[in-house]
Amino acid sequence: MLRFEGSEHFRQRLICSTLSGKPIRIDSIRSDDENPGLRDYEASLLRLIEKVTNGCIIEINETGTSLRYKPGFITGGAVEHDCGTARSIGYFLEPLITLSLFGRRPLNATLRGVTSDGTDPGVDVWRTVTLPLLRKITGIEDGFELKVVARGAPPKGGGEVILKIPVLKSLPPISLVDEGMVKRIRGVAFSMRVSPQSSNRMVDGARGVLNAVCLVYLHSSSFPNTTF
Amino acid sequence: MQLLADVYIFTDHMSGKEAGLSPGYGITLVAETTSGRMISAESVAAAHKQTSETAADQVPEDIGRHAAQALLEEVRRGGVVDGAHQGLLLLLCAMGPEEINEVRLGPLAPYAVKTLRHVREFFGVQFSVRPERDSQTIFLSCIGAGVKNMSKKIQ
């Protein structure tokens, strides 16, 4: 059994334990804190893992400062989860996506909570960057999907996403060594329950910075082949 | 470099039930490269956490500016993914087949450094980490642990 201390890297330890089949024990979880033990969102993550696996054993001591986790099999399938509002849905997406690739059935998850809070990657990052990266890495074109049914800002949330992840037998070899050069910039400016002008104003702010860069590149003498 | 003039940011204003329960706004930017890589950065207004120090930050233009600056910084750092994705990418490399899995990253985020430790502890995978002076990037490679899906139905 692998032993760890402290609350840091909680998610990745659980993912690695589940994917390697090695049970873990984590002690001294915020034991010196005024508010010791697991946080609500960590407990919520454990509940989510229970929903997508079969046969895992989770033991938590009275104060929540010590946890034993024996992983089960990853089942995937249809799942619904209320992520709460302390952390955004993005906090739950990384472990969920990584585990689901190695599940018995493709994942079809409905997650509710906060869609973007600036701490964990927001739903747009997962949808436009992470899922395409996974399509590229796994070689699986169909099956990855993230639909934003409703957005939800902190503190109350109220957002909802539907996530679909396919299963694979094993990963193909990865070779990603060429960043290339930036050819275009895309983005989403989202707003909820505020003036619709907010989105346009954010775009103005962003363009102000990006246009200046374009000008620098366009006029730079180090790019003699520039045509404009 | 006329290509950098291709900037399009979609505005998504939600209303009604699709707008959730609290006011908020934010912006996600993605730089797409000639090799098909995508680098992202975002900035979200934290109205609920507003203090007198952060009040200045909450103007939408500032949120947009902040995201654009963060994006340029991520691009400047280099690598085939941004800082937020380094950990996931390294984990997938470590779980890959028992042959060379290789990636180029910018300076490693703390989460990525910890990932290197975890994959050694759980999967016995040791990455070779080679900083490259010229490109200011880091070339990482490993022999994967060959993780197989034990749960998938046997077809």
pLDDT tens sequence across A97-139: 999 999 999 999 999 999 999 999 999 999 999 999 999 999 9
pLDDT exceeds cutoff 70 at B2: no
**If you average pLDDT over residues A152-170, what whole number do you get?**
97
The predicted structure's pLDDT at residue B52: 45
Average pLDDT (A21-27) is 97
Could A152 and B20 be called an inter-chain contact, meaning their C-beta atoms sit closer than 8 Å?
yes
Nearest to A84 by CA among A34, A154, A14: A154
What residues pair up with A191 in beta bridges, in sequence order?
B13, B25
Question: What are the residues whose beta carbons fall under 8 Å from the beta carbon of B104, sequence distance 6 or more?
Answer: A176, A177, A178, A179, B78, B79, B80, B135, B137, B138, B139, B140
Q: What is the mean pLDDT of residues B114-135?
A: 96
Asked if A94 has any chain B CB less than 8 Å from its own CB, the reply is: yes
Residue B58 scores a pLDDT above 60: yes
pLDDT band for position A14 (cuts 50, 70, 90): very high
Average confidence (pLDDT) over A58-63 = 96
The pLDDT value recorded for residue A225 is 38
Mutation choice for B interface testing from A131, A199, A221 by most B CBs within 10 A = A199
Residue type present at position A170: S
Q: What is the mean pLDDT of residues B131-136?
A: 91
Q: What is the mean pLDDT of residues B119-129?
A: 98
User: pTM for the complete prediction?
Assistant: 0.92
Q: Which of A162-166, B54-58, B75-79 has the highest mean pLDDT?
A: A162-166
pLDDT in the model for residue B46: 76
List of chain A residues whose C-beta atoms are within 8 Å of the C-beta of residue B87: 12
Q: How many A×B Cβ pairs under 8 Å?
A: 378
Look at residue B49 in the predicted model and tell me its pLDDT.
57
Residue of B nearest to A130 (CA): B85
CB contact under 8 A, B19 and A193: yes
pLDDT of residue B3: 43
A149 touches chain B (CB under 8 A): yes
Binding-face residues of A in 34-93 toward B, CB within 8 A: 73-76
Per-residue confidence (pLDDT) for residue B6, from 0 to 100: 85
A33, two tokens: 């804190």
Q: What pLDDT score does B85 carry? A: 97
Residue A41 has pLDDT above 50, yes or no: yes
Placement of tokens 């203090």 in the chain: B51
Mean pLDDT of A72-99: 97
CB contact under 8 A, B100 and A226: no
Within A1-130, strands assigned E span 2-5, 24-27, 53-54, 57-60, 67-70, 73-74, 76-82, 105-113
The answer to whether A186 and B30 are in contact (CB under 8 A) is: yes
Q: How confident is the model at residue A96 (pLDDT cuts 50, 70, 90)?
A: very high
Percent of all residues in chain A with a pLDDT value above 90, rounded to a whole number: 89
Which residue of chain B is at minimal alpha-carbon distance from A73?
A: B151
Residue of A nearest to B86 (CA): A130
Q: Pick from A9, A133, A206: which is nearest to B65 by CB? A: A206
Does B64 contact A208 at a Cβ distance shorter than 8 Å? yes
- Pick the residue from chain B with its C-alpha nearest to A102: B149
Per-residue pLDDT at B115 exceeds 60? yes
Rounded distance between C-alpha atoms, residue A197 and residue B4, angstroms: 26
Q: Mutating which of B2, B18, B28 best tests the A interface, going by the most A Cβ atoms within 10 A?
A: B28
Least CB–CB distance from B20: residue in A19, A124, A158: A158
Mutate to test the interface with B, among A97, A179, A203, A214 (most CBs of B within 10 A): A179
pLDDT in tens, A172-217: 999 999 999 898 899 999 999 999 899 999 999 999 999 877 654 4
CA dist A59 and B152 (Å) reads: 27
